[in-house]
Amino acid sequence: MFRLMATIPLSSAEIQQALAQLPGWSFQRDALERTFTLADFRAALAFMVRVGFEAEAMDHHPEWTNVYNRVAIRLNTHDAGGTVTAKDVELARRIQRLAPT
């Protein structure tokens, strides 16, 4: 299922509909993006590890950076020409569930 989802780009309307359910996420430069600010470096690293397990389970790996307590995540699908697909939305949802409150 994810392989099929990874090849079909979402329309602008579908992306906006998904973003309505993903607080803090935005659509920038053909990707879903969000920066998370955590308590400290240890918390940021632990968050990245948890996200990493979800990404690996989906065989879908984010572009991300970490500076001290910040983790910036960028999602798009290379197999779909660098566009946003349902696979990106699903990973964003999983990341959202892991995010600190």
2-98: CATH topology? Gyrase A; domain 2 (3.30.1360)
Q: How far is the C-alpha of 25 from the C-alpha of 23, rounded, in Å?
A: 6
On whether the pTM is more than 0.85, the answer is: yes
Residue 44: closest CA among 25, 75, 72, 76: 72
- The pLDDT, as a whole number, for residue 4 is 52
- The pLDDT, as a whole number, for residue 7 is 78
Q: Characterize 54-82 residue by residue with b for buried, 16 or more Cβ atoms within 10 angstroms of its Cβ, and e for exposed.
A: bbeeeebebebebeebebebbbbbeebee
Q: What is the pLDDT of residues 55-101, one digit of tens each?
A: 999 999 999 999 999 999 999 998 888 899 999 999 999 999 999 87
Averaged over 4-24, what is the pLDDT? 90
